[in-house]
Amino acid sequence: MNQLPNATVYVIDDDAGVRDALAWLLRSRRLLSELFDSGESFEAYISRPGFEVREPSCALLDVRMGALSGLALFDRIVKRGLLPVMPVIFLTGHADVPTAVDAVKGGAFDFCEKPFSDNALVDRVEQAVAHSAAALNEQRQGRQLQRRLAGLTEREHEVMQRVVEGLSNKQVADGLSISVRTVEVHRARVFEKMAVKSAVELVNLLRGLDRV
């Protein structure tokens, strides 16, 4: 059962029968879907001003479509920075499997070969949605951390940098030509603004920023 009620699955396929069948299949697992009949229509959707993935989602993308193929659309999804918050699962015929494998190597979540097992497909969709939720959470944490960093003064940044390098208060004071007491004050403010209680927590927090 889907544990993410706000999740949306985007189905992009130029075959109306396939779209309707997938929408029914997703409803059976309590997954919401939005249907698109071409790569162009989905590109227009994600190209709207201010578009951003805010809730867990994934895209079911047919490899072979009209003027804008699934692969070409995938490239545009990648260029818009929508991975990994909107994972892509390709729907492919047997002849397109090597191409789909290459797409997975390029960042796609997976591919399902037609005719596919309904349960296997939806299982992968649920896993993709969970992956999206985790990526969105990491993205939000990264933005929150950036806001905290932006709230530090220039001097607090200088002290923080030396703290994460493992320098003692006295070493920081000597390096910045300020008193140890002043370092202690700045250090305490850094910990408060960054919502940590120790230098180790601060180091781990900033290491997490590098992964975002």
Task: Quote the mean pLDDT of the chain.
Answer: 93
> Do 127 and 178 have their domain in common?
no
Q: What is the pTM of this model?
A: 0.82
Q: Does the residue 145 lie in any domain?
A: no
How far is residue 206's CA from residue 187's CA, in Å, rounded to a whole number? 15
Q: How far apart are CA 101 and CA 111, in angstroms?
A: 7
Number of separate domains in the chain: 2
CA atoms of 185 and 176, how far apart (whole Å)? 14
122 with 92, same domain: the answer is: yes
Q: In terms of residue numbers, what domain contains 45?
A: 8-140
pLDDT digits 0-9 by tens, 5-30: 789 999 999 999 999 999 999 999 99
Tell me the C-alpha distance between 10 and 23, whole Å: 9
Q: Encode pLDDT of 124-168 as tens digits.
A: 999 999 999 999 999 999 899 999 999 999 999 999 999 999 999
